[in-house]
Amino acid sequence: MKKLLIISLLSLLPIAMGDMQTAIHAEQSAHNYLQLNADQSLERFLNHLAIVESGVTWDTVNSIGAMGAWQFTERTLRGLGYDITVEAFKADASIFSPELQREAIIKLIEYNESELAELLDTASNRYGILAAAHLAGAPRVKKYFTDGYNAKDKYGTSIETYLAKFSGDYLE
């Protein structure tokens, strides 16, 4: 937020000095800088999530039937518009390639962002919340923040665990 304010104020400086072209360039540069940082933050988050979920093993299936680098369940994949079963994935992992998995995780993050928009607007732990939603689903994350219900997956990993594990801002 501080970076955005400083960049925005700096981009207004040329207007005060009467140079509109320089102001437009400064604003575009500020936008590009923020987008680059956002993209790098997302990449760091996605890498961290894949490490925690599967050790970045794109063709794995865990004991509860979650598949790929980000450990998608069949139900989650169906909700995102993919018709991929564990049985078919085990027979031929290429049906859910690393590229398709990346597309799916981006769709899931976008969905979770829309479902948790109000919470994300006021929270300081954006990636922790998104990781917790990946683990337990957006409705359970909402319930955690309203009622304190700390849902756990079948391995005993809780929303609080993911909130803590993914508490970095991923900007470094």
- Run means of pLDDT, 10 residues per run, the chain, 172 residues: 43 47 49 52 93 96 97 97 98 98 97 95 89 96 96 95 84 46
Total domain count, the chain: 1
Three-class SS state of 55: coil
- Asked whether residue 27 is assigned to any structural domain, the reply reads no
pLDDT confidence of residue 53 = 97
Q: How far is residue 116's CA from residue 67's CA, in Å, rounded to a whole number?
A: 24
Instruction: Give the domain range for residue 125.
Output: 40-165
Residue 13 lies in a domain: no
Per the domain annotation, does 172 fall within a domain? no
Amino acid 46: pLDDT: 95
Instruction: State how far the alpha carbon of 157 is from the alpha carbons of 5, 137, 153, in Å.
Output: 38, 13, 5
Domain CATH number, residue 142: 1.10.530.10
Whether 31 is in a domain gets the answer: no
Q: Give me the pLDDT at residue 10, please.
A: 42
Residue 126 falls inside a structural domain: yes
> Is 33 contained in some domain?
no
* Tokens encoding 63: 């004991």
Q: Is residue 107 part of a domain?
A: yes
Burial class (CB in 10 A: 0-12, 13-18, 19+), 70: buried
Please report whether residue 22 resides in a domain. Answer: no
Q: What's residue 131's pLDDT?
A: 96
